[in-house]
Amino acid sequence: VYVAGIYAALAEHDSAFEWLGRGFEARDDWMIYLRADPIFDRLRSDPRFPRLLAQVGP
């Protein structure tokens, strides 16, 4: 998820989502911070973001 944050900051959305997918598959503990961490603000308007949040859960 850390690497995804770097890609998000660089506006590399596809790479960010690739790494977020890896984080989800690895059950990375940091996935729970997606809703609150401002590093991911640039990704919030992407249709993949709410789908990912739905997978992560509340």
pLDDT one-digit tens code per residue, 17-48 = 999 999 999 999 999 999 999 999 999 999 99
C-beta of residue 1 within 8 angstroms of C-beta of residue 19: yes
- 31-34 contact pairs (CB < 8 A, 24+): 31/1, 31/56, 32/56, 33/1, 34/1
**51 lies in which domain range?**
2-56
Residue 58 pLDDT greater than 90, yes or no: no
Overall number of domains in the chain:
1
Residue 3 pLDDT greater than 90, yes or no: yes
pTM above threshold 0.95: no
> Rounded CA gap, 54 and 12, in Å?
22
